[in-house]
Amino acid sequence: MYRLHMEVYDSNGNLLSTIANTTTSGSNSSIGKEDHMMEWNDTIEKFNGTVSYSVKSGTYYIRFSRYCSVGNGKLTFTATYPSSTSTAKINYITINLPKGSTLSLGTDTTGSGTVTWKSSKTSVATVSSTGKVTAKAKGSTIITAKSGKSSKKIKIVVT
């Protein structure tokens, strides 16, 4: 029987005691939820398993120790974490304008170059070379500000 003890500590040295979403493969393999012990039979060539901790952002330390004094082994450890908890994506900032009204848009640019403005539906709203939007008819249009290879878009909904 081979045993590998794993402990996870936070940056203050506190032991995390909850293991969630634990899976293992191979006969006689187990991961104890209380004792942080991974155990497998020596007839199994490899122990494959996943141990997941639900933690807040921060620094953590993982300590492995073996409980078997015979033979040599290799431990491969991979840590993964999501880059974000949200999959939301902002497509456009939307501004509602009543028909006949105007709005001046501006840009905050770096470097040199000029900004060009374009409306995807000039029947709904037009945009001047200075960024002034005029609402003409009900509907929606995308206003694009472009300078060199950079561009930003805003959705205008005319009501």
The pTM assigned to this predicted structure is: 0.46
Has residue 54 been placed in a domain?
yes
- 10 pLDDT tier (thresholds 50, 70, 90): confident
Q: Are residues 48 and 105 both part of a single domain?
A: no
Give the closest residue to 116 by CA, choosing from 102, 128, 104, 134: 128
Domain boundary among 66, 82, 111: 66
Asked if residue 20 is part of any domain, the answer here is yes
**What pLDDT, on the 0 to 100 scale, is given for residue 156?**
94
In a domain, 7, yes or no: yes
- Are residues 87 and 118 in contact, defined by beta-carbon separation less than 8 angstroms? no
Pair 44, 98 in one domain:
no
Same-domain check for residues 61 and 9? yes
Residue 115 lies in a domain: yes
Please report whether residue 38 resides in a domain.
yes
Q: Which domain holds residue 55?
A: 2-66
Asked if 51 and 102 sit in the same domain, the reply is no
- The domain tally of the chain equals 2
What is the reported pLDDT for 108? 82
* Residue 70 confidence (pLDDT): 60
> At a CB cut-off of 8 Å and minimum separation 6, what does 51 contact?
6, 19, 22, 31, 38
- DSSP lists the bridge partners of residue 10 as 60
* Residue 91: predicted pLDDT: 75
Among 16, 47, 66, identify where a domain stops.
66
My answer on whether 56 and 11 are in the same domain is yes
Q: Would you say residue 89 has pLDDT above 60?
A: yes
Q: Is the pLDDT of residue 131 over 80?
A: yes
How far is it, in rounded angstroms, from Cα 147 to Cα 107? 10
